[in-house]
Amino acid sequence: MWWFLLLIFLQRMQHVRGACEPIRIEMCRGLGYNVTAMPNLVGHEIQGDADFTLQTFSPLIQYGCSAQLHLFLCSVYAPMCTEKVPSPIGPCRGLCEQVRARCFPVLQGFGFPWPAALNCSKFPPVNNHQHMCMEGPGEPGPANPIQAVGAGGGPWGCSWYAKSGLYVFLNRSGRCAAACDADILWSQKDKKATEAWMAAFATVCLISVTIAILSLLKPRKQSTVMSTAEKAITCLAVCHGIVAVGYVIRLAAGRLTVACTPAIPLHPQDQVVISQHQQQYLTQDGLANPYCAVVFLLLYYFGNAAIGLDSSAEFMYAGVAHLACKSVRNVQDWW
């Protein structure tokens, strides 16, 4: 019995001291060292827990935001161990900062923060006798999560476009986005004329909706209950009124505010490399621009709701009213 307890105690003491053990994490094999020590740099006691956490980074590794991401993660979750050094050897701060500069903009694009466990400030600044750490081989090129067209060439550009210099290639989505100040399909004169027509039609629509709703709310002599026709007109007027509000928000906020996404992140260390004259690009997807999302929701859902209203035989003027409202909206969209 005592021998059994002694063996358990010795194994526990070995575990506390962080004795070297072979790497059993498949992701961290073949990186230049084959032994590690537990607990690791984030507090995992066994390799199984570290392996489970590393699996959550698989999409980021496959994305390829940094050539050193694989080594950096393994040096944190399965640090190198040697009997000559009393503590595990993790990454240097420079390696962490290089990986963060390339991969944090990608995480930001998907709405994720940089993990607190990978805070670069807790790693040694340099590799020396007092604090040994892994520096990594370095990155093959500059950090470039969002790259201006023509800056690199190759398959990562938009050279197949007719006006390739007016586009920005987005590594996150693999697509090309037009720069906000680019005149590709329409000139500045056409854009200003469109805004003027859009303002005029939105104003007319709001006035018409206001008149229609006020006329429906006036006191009735015969009945206080709305007929089917009046209910349909009210719903139609409200839907098109909200669509007009969406256009008004677009006009009030401005084209750059609603339609464009800044190419420069909030943190200076994660600044995106982009040409000097292309600081913004047309929003492609996601909720990075809340103004764009709000305008889209108003125009899309309430526009479809108005178009989808059903006309019945009881609604004598449904066809005329519906045609008039849809015509205004279609002319709005066309201009």
Would you kindly state where each structural domain of the chain is located, as residue ranges? 18-122, 145-178, 188-333
As a three-state string, the secondary structure of 265-290 is: CCCHHHCCCCCCCCCEEECCCCCCCH
pLDDT at 220 over 70: no
Which of 90-94, 139-143, 221-225 has the least mean pLDDT?
A: 139-143
Q: Do the bridges between strand 133-134 and strand 90-91 make them parallel or antiparallel, or are there none, so unpaired?
A: parallel
Q: What percent of the chain has pLDDT over 90?
A: 27
> What average pLDDT score do residues 16-24 get?
77
Q: What is the pLDDT of residue 17?
A: 47
Q: What is the pLDDT of residue 155?
A: 40
Which of 15-19, 170-174, 222-226 has the least mean pLDDT?
A: 15-19
pLDDT at 39 over 60: yes
The model's pTM is 0.44
> What average pLDDT score do residues 266-287 get?
51
- Of 190, 186, 158, give the one whose Cα is nearest residue 174: 158
pLDDT at 271 over 60: no
3-state secondary structure of 20: strand
304 — pLDDT class (breaks 50, 70, 90)? confident
Rounded (to 5) percent helix, strand, coil in the chain: 50, 10, 40
Q: What is the largest CA-CA distance in the chain?
A: 101
> What average pLDDT score do residues 33-55 get?
92
> What average pLDDT score do residues 157-172 get?
70
Reply yes or no on domain 18-122 having CATH 1.25.40.10. no
> What average pLDDT score do residues 192-214 get?
90
